[in-house]
Structure 1
Amino acid sequence: MHVLLVTHHYAPETGAPQRRWSAFVRRFVDAGHRVTVLAPPPHYPSGRAGDLAPHDRVGTVTRGQHGETVVRVRFRTHDHRLVSRSVDQAVAATDSLVRAVARYAGRRDRPDVVIATAPGLPSIPAGMAVARLLRRPVVVEMRDAWPDLIGSSGMLGPGHGRGRRALATTAAHRAMTHLQRRADAVVTTTVSFAEVLRERGARRVEVVRNGTSVAHLDPLPPAVGPAGSLRVLYLGTLGRSQGLAAAVKAADVVRERGVDLVMRVVGTGADEAYLYDTARRLGAPVQFVGRVPQGDVRAHYAWADTSLVSLRDWGPFEWTVPSKLYEALAVGRHVTASIAGEAARIVTESDAGDVVAPQDPAALADLWTRLAEDRARLDVGLRGRRWVLDNADHDRLAAHYLELLGGLTT
């Protein structure tokens, strides 16, 4: 097959969407398929491209690291505001449509199937338009519970439930649901959101989880440390969705109880300055490391006794599984799960950690106190790793994706 991917995020950027598609593209190409990617130059997470390498500039057509063809489309420098980011995504999506039609209209080597993946949301209508103009099937991939998160997250600002903001939320919800219903297939990363989309009338919904490569993640030995101590690792995005202020407050409570706790935060995001100020104001035992290369991630897991996975208590997050959960399970570390819904069920079913309600500093502090006092609870063995191997290993996920695509092109 020849697969055309329309995406706003791609390597050499780093992040969950970029890791997902780097893993899948490598396996698609290794299986003998062609992949063409339409994506803007790397400019995540800052919104600025900086000094681009010649092969990453707008308009270039180059060979990617896995043998795929990468076409760089236009973009717009943006800041953290929703409107600014949305304009950037719209510019890239529009140029993706223009370049795809110019490149493939009337040619025999048109793609066999088009995949449009969010984020950003404008990639979805752009990818669907490309597929219709080229008369090819289209797969809409929803990595998160869009459009439901628009209202729950408050990303439209105060008063989103009233007046023009309410109308905008409703219009976005209806438009995205309409596109999901028209797609030849919709891919979600969780079973629970797939069920929601089926109830809304999407005609074919498949689950292809976010995941990890178990073969490239050797299990870590059990954590070792003195009784009364605990090392907590958070590794990932520091954004509004994660609600990490609750964990910072919990770390401060545990410190006041006399427990030797250290919380290490690895990553960057929109809430980084706020979290740093909160920790400094409280005197909480929190280290901020910033973004680290992928090659350094294992050392941070090895340092930790437990790995924190956190999401806010927004309703649609019950249909969401943070991609970092699979990595934490695969390396064999105990998981502190401040989450609900499907993600919480995975931790419980795999017996690889403990679950507390989201946004509950008291419950989190109580759990960490108990773990420090009874460190035997931190030894979860390979139970989480086995769950990932059976349900979220990249080799199996890519094979399932190719099976879906093959069924659409025959």
Structure 2
Amino acid sequence: MKILILSQYWHPENGVPQRRWTWLSRILVDAGHEVTVIAPPPHYQRKVELRQWWSERQYSSSFESDPGPSGERIIRSGFVPSGASLTQRIMNQATVALGALWVVLKRPGVLKGYRPDLVIGTVPALPTAVVAGLSARILKCPYVIDLRDAWPDLLDQSEEWNKSTGKRSLRERILTKGPFQVLSAGTRLALHKVLKGAAGLSVTSSHLQCDLCERPEIQTRGNAPKIVTVRNVFPPETDYRAEQVDEGPCGELKVLYAGTLGRAQNLANAVEAARLAEEAGVRIHLRLVGAGAAREALTETARATDTNVSIEGRQPADKLDDYYEWADTALVHLTDWEPLKRAVPSKTYELMVARLHISGVVKGEAADIIRSRRAGDVVPPDDPRALADLWIALARDRSRLTITGDGPEWVKQEREEIAPPRLLELVEEVGGR
């Protein structure tokens, strides 16, 4: 089967979406399918200067293809560089989607005469979902949406999106007085239409799967999309495996967060928890490692508190062993938005495989997994006192940091025995319609 994938991100970038689809592409290729990808040149979490973007003609889509690490071929589409603000990211995602649509319409160079049996669009990057639907119509084939977060429900939290990033710019304050509401409503309607028209949906959470199966705006009698859960259990790039935690100094705790410093995390909650623990006489060493829209505001918050908090730049996934070796516990941290109860941060699975104690600041499915697999402790989001109390208890009873649950075995089973057949069953069933 010929499968066309439309994505905002791809190898050689090394974020979660890219690593997920490097893994899934290998499953498809190993099963005998031909995978072609349309994605922009690497620019995610990179500052692309306009002069470089123009001189390298990155506004223009390629006529040639590059080989991918999983045996796929990659066509690079045009884009406009992004920034940290919401408006800049929206423009970037829109131009990436338009670049992909141009490639589908023209099918230049190596794609001359190309006709796929199935189109897959990966979300977030909501415009990509719309373009996937349009592309499938143009190419006269079914499509699947890989829905990695609880969209469109996250649009309901738009008033909270900048809570963790500090003050909004004048441009954003103006746009949210009306234009953003119109855009949000239009996006919701478009995404519902795209999801309803899809032959299949792939999601990363079983709670999200159940929710979508009950949505009347998506389900149509006799023509409902096939929905499967394919978790983000791609192979970790770290070899770290924790042994029994040493005793260490009583009354101290080393806490690591390695991931996105973004809107959905609200890590100021963790900084405040560290301050409260310090007031109780427990020394918290908190390291926040990553990049994201809230980094600057977090830096200011950390400076304003008398706590041992360091904020460090994003590290490649294969360079985290030393950080894991340093840590007593690792944060999995989300803010208290209702749709996030149906999200499971991929870092959860990596930490379970590493047998590193998880301080889970989550609700819903992520909390259920951490508890049921005995992978750590869980407290409610946006409750710094509860998190401080947990860290105080861990610092005073370090035996709780040793993980004895079956998390690593469960993740391996999901990766090797459950996810591949689910993915293949989905694409082969809907691609054969």
Using the size of structure 2 for normalisation, the TM-score is 0.87
Deviations 1:350-379 (A, max 9, x none): 111111010111000000000000011111
Q: Which one of the candidate residues 124, 130, 137 is aligned to 2:135?
A: 130
CA distance in 2, matches of 1:372, 1:176: 46
**Is residue 279 of structure 1 aligned with residue 294 of structure 2?**
no
1:100 paired residue number: 104
Displacement of 1:6: 0.2
Match of 1:142 among 139, 143, 147: 147
How many residue pairs get aligned? The number is: 409
Question: 1:17–1:214: structure 2 CA closer, same or farther, 3 Å change rule?
Answer: closer
| Of 129-138 and 105-114, the range deviating more from structure 2 | 105-114
Tell me which residue corresponds to 1:404: 426
Partner SS, residue 107 of structure 2: helix
Unaligned runs of 5+ in 2: 163-171
Aligned equivalent of 1:297, options 306, 309, 320 = 320
Return the offset for 1:381.
2.3
* Match among 221, 224, 231 for residue 209 of structure 1: 231
**Shift, 1:26, TM fit:** 2.5
Q: What is the deviation of 1:247?
A: 0.2
380-389 or 325-334, larger mean C-alpha shift: 380-389
Q: What do residues 114-145 of structure 1 show as CA deviations (whole Å, max 9, x unaligned)?
A: 10011211111111111121111100111111
How many Å separate the matches in 1 of 2:155 and 2:177?
A: 14
Q: Within 1, Cα distance between the matches of 2:284 and 2:316?
A: 25
SS at match of 1:122: helix
C-alpha displacement of 1:329:
0.9
Provide the C-alpha distance between the structure 2 equivalents of 1:278 and 1:188, rounded to a whole number of angstroms: 35
Distance verdict in 2 for CA 1:242–1:130, change over 3 Å: same
Is 1:369 the counterpart of 2:384 in the alignment? no
Counterpart in the other structure of 2:2: 2
1:173 aligns with 2:195: no
Q: Percent of counterpart pairs with the same letter? A: 37
Distance 1:106 1:366 in 2: 58
- The CA deviation string for residues 75-122 of structure 1, in whole angstroms up to 9 with x for no partner, is 012222222221221122122122123228997752221100112111
- Which among 310, 321, 329 is matched to residue 333 of structure 2? 310
- Cα–Cα, structure 1 residues 89 and 215, in superposed 2: closer, same or farther, change >3 Å? closer
Q: State the SS of the aligned residue for 1:89.
A: helix
Q: Which residue of 2 aligns with 1:248?
A: 271
Contact 1:159-1:165 at 8 Å conserved across structures: no
Distance 1:294 1:216, change over 3 A: closer
For residues 29 and 132 of structure 2, what CA distance do their matches in structure 1 show? Answer: 21
Secondary structure of the structure 1 residue equivalent to 2:234: coil
Q: Does 1:91 align with 2:113?
A: no
SS at match of 1:96: helix
Corresponding residue for residue 66 of structure 2: 62
> Structure 2 CA distance, aligned partners of 1:361 and 1:270?
21
Q: Which amino acid aligns with 1:21?
A: W
Q: Which moved more, 1:169-178 or 1:271-280?
A: 169-178
Q: CA deviation at 1:340?
A: 0.6
Q: Which amino acid aligns with 1:333?
A: L
What SS does structure 1 have at the residue aligned with 2:79? coil
2-structure distance, mates of 1:44, 1:244: 21
User: 2:346 is matched with which residue: 323, 329, 335?
Assistant: 323
Q: Which residue number in structure 2 is paired with residue 335 of structure 1?
A: 358
Give 1:18 deviation, angstroms. 1.1
Counterparts of 1:268 and 1:214, CA distance in 2? 19
Residue 77 of structure 2 corresponds to residue 73 of structure 1: yes
Q: Does the 8 Å CA contact 2:233/2:346 hold for their aligned counterparts? A: yes
**Within the alignment, does 1:353 sit opposite 2:376 as a pair?**
yes
Aligned residue identity for 2:380? A
TM-score by length of 1: 0.92
Shift of 1:382: 4.6
Contact 2:373/2:405 (CA < 8 Å) preserved in 1?
no
Q: Confirm or deny: 8 A CA contact 1:337 1:344 kept in the other structure.
A: yes
Q: Tell me, yes or no, if the aligned pair for 2:256 and 2:287 is still in contact at 8 Å.
A: yes
Q: 1:29 to 1:273 in 2, by over 3 A?
A: same
Q: Deviations over 1:254-277 (max 9, x none)?
A: 122222321111111111111111
What is the distance in 2 between the residues matched to 1:22 and 1:141? Answer: 14
In structure 2, relative to structure 1, the CA distance for the partners of 1:214 and 1:7 (3 Å cut) is: closer
- The Cα shift of 1:66 comes to 2.4
- 93-102 or 46-55, which moves further after superposition? 46-55
